[in-house]
């Protein structure tokens, strides 16, 4: 069984990799297995964790769970074409709740916290802040302020990017591009790590060529 398991894993791994060459039956087979198995995985997981684990085990302690069950039931009415339109209600509910919830969360966490974090002294003579008043540090803090400020200018919708405003927006896009470059560099690293993990499986676990 152990041999079979390893070979099966390797077969599927190579099947997916074969897509790099071109679309082919090996890939199509792996893809079909993947779609079927993973859809099944999620059906089973959601069934046991959410329906049974959350609702069935919990409704005695928390009767409000029935609201969720009711919304879920209304959702399932889609299966009855005549009254399928009722499923818009739970959808409307979810859309409303998501909007309200994230409106506040993003306002508090993204906007407020990030604005606050940008408010740092450019330089300081006091010891108390622990701030090093070297030129490098001053330049760095200036760059952060300028970058954040001009980046926001770039996103302004109600003014055309012209003149001084356009200049600021251009500086802003420079910073955004640097951000993307850094993200890209970091991502390359991450993606390569994944491939290393797979190679470690193929050459190590499967074929036993490396330690």
Partner 1 sequence: MRQEIPLLITAIVGIGFVIQYFIPHWPFSRMSDWFSDWFSIVGACAIILGALNLMKVSIEKTYKRKEDWGYAAVIIASFLLMTIIGIAEGRGFRNPGTSFDWLYNFVYIPLSATMFAILAFFVASASYRAFRARNFEATLLLIAAFFVMIGRVPVGHTLSSFMPIGWQLSDLASWVMTVPQAAGQRAIMIGIGLGIVSTSLRIILGLERAHIGGGK
Partner 2 sequence: MSTRAKELIALGAITLFALVFYFGKIWGWGTFEFPTWLSMVVIVLIGLSLLWVLILTLKGQLIERRVVFIYVAFAVALPLFMSFSQKITISPEVYQLHNALTELPAGSKVLISFDYDPPSAPELQPMAESIIRVCFEKDLKVIVMGLWPQGPQQANLALEKVFEDSAILAKNLQYGRDYVNLGFQTGNEFVIQRMGSSFESMFPSDYEGTPYREIPLVRNVRNFSNVDFSVNLSAGFPGTVEWVQIAVDRYGLLMGAGNTAVQAPVMYAYLNAGQLEGLLGGMSGAAEFEAVAGYRAKGTKFMLSQSFAHVVVIAFIIIGNVAFFRSGRKSKLKGK
Partner 3 sequence: MSLPLAATHPRLSVHLFFPIIVIVLTTCSSAFGQSDTQLDTTVVDDTVSIAAAPVTTLLVEDGKYDDGDSLRLFWVPSIDDQLIDSKVTGYRVYRLVNDGAAEPIVDLLPGVGNYTDKNVELDSSYVYYVATLTESGEYPSIHTESISPQREWINFRRGYLFIIMMIISAAIIFYVETAKRGKKLFVRKIAGLEAIDEAVGRATEMGRPVLFIPGISDMDDVQTLAALTILGRVSRTIADYDSKIFMPVSRSLVMTAARETIKTSYQAAGRPDAYNDDMVNYVTDEQFGYVAAVDGLMVREKPATVFLLGAFFAESLILAETGNSIGAIQIAGTARPAQLPFFIAACDFTLIGEELFAASAYLSGEPRMLGSLKGQDVGKAIAMITILLGVVAVTLSEAWGVGIMTDLHAWLVKVFSSS
User: Contact positions toward partner 2, by CB under 8 A?
Assistant: 7, 10, 14, 20-21, 45, 49-50, 53-54, 105, 108-109, 113-114, 116-117, 179, 182-183, 186-200, 203-204, 206-211
Q: Is the Cβ–Cβ distance between 152 and 172 less than 8 Å?
A: yes
Q: Which of 39, 80, 133, 203 binds partner 1 (CB under 8 A)?
A: 39
In the complex, minimum distance from the CB of residue 59 to partner 3, in angstroms, rounded to a whole number: 22
Tokens representing residue 150 in the block:
């001009």
Whichever of 113 and 133 has its CB closer to partner 2, that residue is: 113
- The verdict on 97 binding partner 1 (CB under 8 A) reads yes
- The verdict on 17 binding partner 1 (CB under 8 A) reads yes
- The verdict on 172 binding partner 3 (CB under 8 A) reads no
In the complex, minimum distance from the CB of residue 127 to partner 1, in angstroms, rounded to a whole number: 22
- The verdict on 109 binding partner 3 (CB under 8 A) reads yes
Contact set with partner 3 (CB under 8 A): 16, 19, 23, 27-28, 30-31, 34-35, 37-39, 41-42, 75, 78, 87-88, 91, 94-95, 97-99, 102-104, 106-109, 111-113, 115-116, 118-126, 129-131, 145, 148-149, 152-153, 155-161, 176, 179-181, 183-184, 186-187, 191
């Amino acid at each position: 069984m152990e041999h079979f398991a390893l070979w099966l894993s390797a077969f599927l791994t190579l099947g997916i990799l074969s897509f790099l060459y071109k679309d082919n039956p090996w890939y199509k087979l792996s893809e079909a297995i993947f779609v079927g198995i993973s859809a099944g995985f999620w059906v089973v997981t959601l069934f046991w964790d959410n329906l049974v684990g959350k609702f069935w085990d919990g409704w005695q302690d928390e009767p409000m769970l029935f609201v969720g069950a009711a919304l879920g039931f209304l959702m399932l009415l889609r299966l009855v074409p005549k009254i399928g339109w009722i499923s818009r209600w739970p959808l409307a509910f979810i859309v409303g709740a998501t909007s309200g919830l994230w409106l506040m969360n993003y306002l508090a966490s993204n906007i407020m916290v990030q604005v606050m974090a940008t408010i740092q002294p450019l330089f300081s003579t006091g010891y108390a802040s622990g701030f090093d008043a070297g030129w490098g540090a001053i330049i760095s803090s200036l760059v952060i302020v300028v970058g954040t400020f001009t980046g926001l200018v770039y996103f302004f919708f109600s003014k055309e990017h012209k003149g001084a405003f356009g200049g600021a927006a251009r500086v802003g896009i420079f910073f955004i591009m640097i951000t993307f470059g850094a993200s890209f560099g970091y991502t390359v690293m991450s993606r390569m790590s994944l491939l290393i993990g797979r190679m470690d499986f193929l050459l190590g676990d499967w074929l036993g060529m490396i330690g």
